[in-house]
Amino acid sequence: MLFADKIRSLREEKKMLQRELAAALSVDTPMYSRIERGERPIKREQIKILADILYADESELLKLWLADQVSALLNGEEDIINDVLDIAKSGMGNMGKKKKEIKFIDLFAGIGGFHYAIESIGGECVFASEWDKNARITYEANFKERSPWLFQIDEDGNMPYFNGDINDADPNLIPDFDVLCGGFPCQAFSIAGLRKGFEDTRGTLFFNIANIVHHKILQGKKPKVLLLENVKGLKSHMKGQTLKTLLNVLENDLNYKVKIEVLNAKYFGVPQNRERLFFVCWDREQIPVDDFNFPLGLDSKLKPIFEKEKLDNCIPTKVSDIFEPKATLPEKITISDRMWIGHQERKKRNKENGKGFGFSLFTDDSIYCSTISARYWKDGSEILIDQSAEGKNPRRLTPVEAGRLQGYKIIGAGWEDEKAANNQNNKKGIPEMKIVVSAKEAYHQFGNSVAVPVVKAIAKEIRKQLIDNCI
């Protein structure tokens, strides 16, 4: 059976378990096993679910499925079946083309926001680097089943493909890759001006990125695309000198075409006002494309929005989309009387002095909240949820809610709003993020993370506009 053979091959290629696909289809594992053996039919609507979770071309799976249906009707007339497939291919044009493989490396990997995104367009991670021990625990717990090769231990007891400190990474040991991604820290450069180009960045973490790329160029294995992220303030850092230095290295020393854009997570289906600066860089010798259009948001049909004037049509959100059921919330997330009084007094004092904003309070129906930061675990002041209707002080978000605010699918205790359980960030086929560290560390990790839906949207456009046009 063509369809059954294909999905079995894809599953084995992705090193996934039958039970994972069975869960996505809401069937038990024995029943799914029968589907892979061609002993049980599959419904048309289940093909999209399989395509999503296997990162496969839905149109290709559909053709094979239809071919099996026709085969059954014609009782295995092979010549007729081949004619049907030829007709289908000619009618569907480019849909029959095989997708180009994407191998990527994940630098400053954190808990894997970029990994989820590039994986969603069919990418395979061949190297990752993260120095924080707790972030490494979270990363391994969530990707070991799907990318086991990253966590192989060598004879010296090290994980050569899951590097720790980026400063210790040996470019000679990094496998060849198509895409480099990473959210590097914003750092000042020691030399003002553009006098030394590549050398201007030495001593910074960005230098490690540039050095790895430069090394691959010398080997004749130049990466096709770089996807980088930083804070919005990088544009004005050191009066714009930092950005100028970065662009000089990327464009002149490494010879990439570069586009940058500030994107806000609130336009991508998460209720968070989070602005970040993104770089998309591509090698025009391998990808003869003159421009890249950033998606500025997603509409209610999950189609990219490219015009700022149309952002009013983005996916509607509200803060309660991320809430766990109120009945399950622990009492300790409600802030104490002392802390609440302190927040209010500090806000009043800051207002009088004309500095700072103090705490920020949001209701269930607020369409978005403030940016969550790595310090959220301290007092939660940037995002407090109003509980006055229940006669309570405001509360913090739970760690689960903090992760959902960045677009991660986390089951937790469920959802207060059942509709949110099936929205674009939580639908079947999307891998679940597991929290395996303390609440304090979870808040810290999610505060440092990228907003996954934003990076996924960029990744899809990188695939469509750049990778698929690669020579």
The Cα–Cα gap between 356 and 347 comes to: 8
The Cα–Cα gap between 43 and 5 comes to: 16
The Cα–Cα gap between 250 and 285 comes to: 15
The Cα–Cα gap between 398 and 380 comes to: 10
List alpha helices for 194-299, DSSP H.
205-218, 241-248
Tokens describing residue 269: 């289906």
Contact indicator for 267, 304 with CB cutoff of 8 Å: no
3-class secondary structure, 150 = helix
Please name the residues in contact with 446: beta carbons below 8 A apart, sequence gap of 6 or more. Answer: 111, 372, 376, 399, 402, 403, 405, 406, 408
Ramachandran region, residue 162 (left: φ > 0; alpha: ψ -120 to 50; beta: rest):
beta
The Cα–Cα gap between 175 and 228 comes to: 19
Q: At what angle do helices 29-36 and 2-13 cross, to 10 degrees?
A: 120
The Cα–Cα gap between 137 and 146 comes to: 15
The Cα–Cα gap between 127 and 71 comes to: 43
Q: Which residue has the tokens 């090290």?
A: 158
Tokens describing residue 420: 């949110």
3-class secondary structure, 316 = coil
DSSP 249: I
The dihedral formed by the CA atoms of 162, 163, 164 and 168, expressed in degrees to the nearest 10: 170
- Which position among 181, 186, 281, 369 bears the catalytic label? 186
Contact indicator for 276, 270 with CB cutoff of 8 Å: no
- Does the annotation count 186 as an active-site position? yes
Q: Which residues are catalytic?
A: 186
